[in-house]
Amino acid sequence: MSHGPSAPAHAHGHGGEAAPYVPVFTEGSARRRELDDLISRYPSRRAALLPALWMVQQDRGWISEDAMREVGEQLDCTAAYVKGVVTFYTMYHQHPVGRHFIQVCTTSPCLCAGADDVVKAFLEHTGCKELGLTSPDGKYTVIEVECLGACGFATPVQINEDYVECVTPEKVPGLLAALGD
Amino acid sequence: MGYPHKSHPQETPVLSKHFGDPAARTLEGWKARGGYTALAQALTMAPTAIQDVVKASGLRGRGGAGFPTGLKWSFMKLDDGKPHYLCCNADESEPGTFKDREIMRWTPHALIEGVAIGAYAIGAETAYIYIRGEFSEPIRVMEAALAEARAAGVIGPNAMGSGKRIDIWVHKGAGAYICGEETALMNSIEGKRGNPRIKPPFPAVSGLFGQPTTINNVETLTAVPHILNNGAEWYKGMCLSSPKSTGSKLFSVCGNVARPGNYEVVLGFSFKDFLYDLCGGPPAGRKFKAIIPGGSSVPVITIEEAEQVRMDYEGFLEVGTMLGSGGVIIFDDAQSMPRQLARLARFYAHESCAQCTQCREGTAWMTRILERIVAGQGTFEDLDTIFDLSESMTGKTICVLSDSCAAPVVSGIKRFRGEFEALITGRRSSTVAVGG
C-alpha cells in the first residue's frame, strides 16, 4: 500500500543491458523445490504467483522484467500477465531500492499523531532528497505508506520487513544508526 | 513491541485474554490454556450442528459487515460433491483497525482452531489465511504455529485423529487495501490482480477457484472455539443492549486519545464510559471533537453524538454511523477536520482498483477538491460538487470502496461545515489548528 519508489534515472529502458539474467527457480534448486511445494497447496499453478514473486524479491531485492518472464514460464502465464499483477500490488519493487527500505505511515490516524514530522525527520537524516528517491550512497529509500494497520502505535514505520512502533522525529537518528550499513 | 496495556476491570477479555503472554503462542502453551478442546469436540459433531450452535449464539461478522456467521455458513451446500474453501480474511488494512494483528501475534493457535472448526463446519478440506503483506511478524508467528499444528496432527490429512482432512495455509498479500474485499481477496489468492468481482454469483455458490467458498474475518473465527466450549447461551448472554448484538468485541482505539490500544468489551457497552474510563479520555489539555467509530469507511460523528451511543451494531446505526470493524479513530479539538478528511479521501483514491469509473474518478476528484479547500482555494460550489459526486459514488459500483470514501467525507462536511466554510472564506476557524 505504498506510494511506491520512483525509478532511478538509469533504470529506464535498459532492461537487457546489464549482466545476463540468472534464473531464480533453476531445476533442482532449493527455490524450485519451495515453489513446487507451494504449487501443491492450490488447485491451480497460477495461485502460486504472489508467493513466487515474493521469493524473487527476497532473493534479488526487486522484480525485473526478466524475472517476470521467468515466473510466468514457471506458472504457465505470460510475462505481460505477470507484469499486470506486479503493478497492481504496491509492495513489489519494479526498480532497485535502498538497502533499507523505509515506509512511514501517514494515513489519518497517524497524521493526527504527527506522522508528517516523522517523514521529514527520515528525509533529513537519510539524505534522501525526496520521497521515493534512494539516498546517494544507496543505503536508504523513504516513502509514505498507506495505513500499516498499527494505528494504536502511531507512528508505525516499516523498515524492510519489520515494524517499528511509536516512532517520533527524535527517535529517527537512533533508529537509523541501529540499522547499520 | 509489547502489548500496551493490562486489561481494564471493565473489559471482558475473551479473545484478548492471553494477549501479551508469549507462552500462549506455542501449541503446548495453547493446550495448557484449554486450546483445541473445541476443535476436538467439533470433529465429533455434524457440520450442521456446529452451524446451529453458531447461529444460536448470535455471532456476527467482525470484519465490518456484521453478517450473521452461522447463517453465512449455512449457505454452503454440504453434499454437492464439490471442493469447498474457507478463506480467513486477515488483510486488516482499514485505517483505525489493528485488532486482527494482535490476535495473530499473540494467539495464533486460537485462530488456527477457529479456522479448522469453520472449515469443517462448511465442508471444506482446505482453508487459506490471507494476511496482508506488510504483516511480517504476524505471518512469521502464524507460519510457526501452523507448522507445529501440522507436525502434531492437529490439522492435516487426519485432523486430531478424526479421519477428516483440514489443510490450512497462509497466503501472503502484497500491498492492496482492496484485497480485504472478499471477492478481491479470492482473486488475489488465485494469482490475479485484486479486482473485486461482480456479485452474484455469491462466494457460497462460486467463489475461490470457482468453488463454493466462505470468507470470515480473523476475529469472527477466533470467537468460534469459545462459543463451542461455553455454549451458545453463554455467548448470547454477553449483551448489554440490543439482543441482535451479542458477544464480546475488540475495539482498536487510535488518534488523539490518552491510552490508545485494543479493548475488548461486551457489545452494548456505553461509548462514553469506554472513551473516558477505559481509554483515559483526551490527551492532556484537549477535548474530543469527532470520532469515526468503525474504521475509516463509516460516517464521522461528533463527540456529543458519541457520548449517547451504545457500542453495538444497532446503537451506532441510530446516530447515523456504523460499528464496522471496531476501529475507533478519535480527533481532538486541535485537529482540522477538512485536513483529516482530505487525507482520508487520498487514502481511498490511492487504494481504488480503478475498475469502476465512479470510484476511480470520484475518489481522485474528491481528494483534489478537498485538498484545494484545505489549501484555502476552495469555493462554496466545491461543497455542492462533493455532495453531488458522493451520490454517484454510493451504491453504484462493484464493491463499496467509493461508498467508503464518500461516507466519512459527506458526514464530516455535514457535521463540521463551519470548518470548511472558514477555509473557503479565509476566516480562521477557532477549531482549525495550525499544525492539524
Look at residue B181 and tell me whether its pLDDT is greater than 60.
yes
CA A95/CA A109 separation, integer angstroms? 30
Give chain A positions within 8 Å (CB) of B187.
Answer: none
Residue B378 distance to chain A (closest CA, Å): 21
Q: What pLDDT does residue A181 have?
A: 86
Q: Do B260 and A90 touch (CB under 8 A)?
A: no
Q: Which of B191, B329, B436 sits opposite A49 (nearest CB)?
A: B191
Q: Do A113 and B256 touch (CB under 8 A)?
A: yes
- The C-alpha cell 489539555 sits at B285
Query: Averaged over B70-92, what is the pLDDT?
Result: 98
The β-bridge partners of B269 are: B311
Residue B181 distance to chain A (closest CA, Å): 15
CA nearest to A158, candidates A171, A145, A140, A170:
A145
Cβ-contact B54, B87 below 8 angstroms:
no
Alpha carbon B80 to its chain centroid, in Å, reads 31
Look at residue A11 and tell me whether its pLDDT is greater than 80.
no
Cβ-contact B283, B241 below 8 angstroms:
no
CATH 1.10.10.1590 correct for A17-88? yes
ipTM above 0.90, yes or no: yes
Query: Would the pTM of this model clear 0.90, i.e. be above it?
Result: yes
Q: What pLDDT does residue A12 have?
A: 43
Helix (H, G, I), strand (E, B), or coil: what is residue A15? coil
Instruction: Identify the H or E element spanning B39.
Output: helix B37-42
Q: What pLDDT does residue B90 have?
A: 98
Integer angstrom CA distances of residue B302 from B79, B238, B331, B402: 50, 28, 10, 23
Nearest residue of chain B to residue A44 (CA atoms) = B190
String of DSSP letters for B164-197: --BEEEEEE--S-GGGGSHHHHHHHHTTS--PPP
Look at residue A14 and tell me whether its pLDDT is greater than 60.
no
- Is A147 an 8 Å CB contact of chain B? yes
- The C-alpha cell 481509554 sits at B279
- The C-alpha cell 519489520 sits at A162
Angle, helix B417-425 to helix B357-374, in steps of 10 degrees: 60
Q: Mean pLDDT over all residues of chain B?
A: 95
CA B165/CA B125 separation, integer angstroms? 5
Look at residue B430 and tell me whether its pLDDT is greater than 50.
no
Query: Averaged over A106-116, what is the pLDDT?
Result: 94
CA nearest to B187, candidates A78, A52, A88, A4:
A88
pLDDT band, very low/low/confident/very high, at B269 (cuts 50, 70, 90): very high
Q: What pLDDT does residue A13 have?
A: 44
CA B150/CA B165 separation, integer angstroms? 11
Q: Do B1 and A75 touch (CB under 8 A)?
A: no
Q: Do A151 and B340 touch (CB under 8 A)?
A: no
Nearest residue of chain A to residue B131 (CA atoms) = A149
Task: Write the single-letter amino acid at B154.
Answer: V
Query: Averaged over B66-88, what is the pLDDT?
Result: 97
> Which CATH code for domain A100-177?
3.40.30.10
CA B22/CA B45 separation, integer angstroms? 32
Q: Do A43 and B83 touch (CB under 8 A)?
A: yes
- Is B234 an 8 Å CB contact of chain A? no
**Cell numbers given for B149:** 499444528
Kindly list the domain boundaries of chain A, sorted by start residue.
17-88, 100-177
Question: How many residues appear in chain B?
Answer: 436
Look at residue B434 and tell me whether its pLDDT is greater than 50.
no
Give chain B positions within 8 Å (CB) of A49.
Answer: 191
pLDDT band, very low/low/confident/very high, at B1 (cuts 50, 70, 90): very low
Cβ neighbours around A84 below 10 Å, total? 14
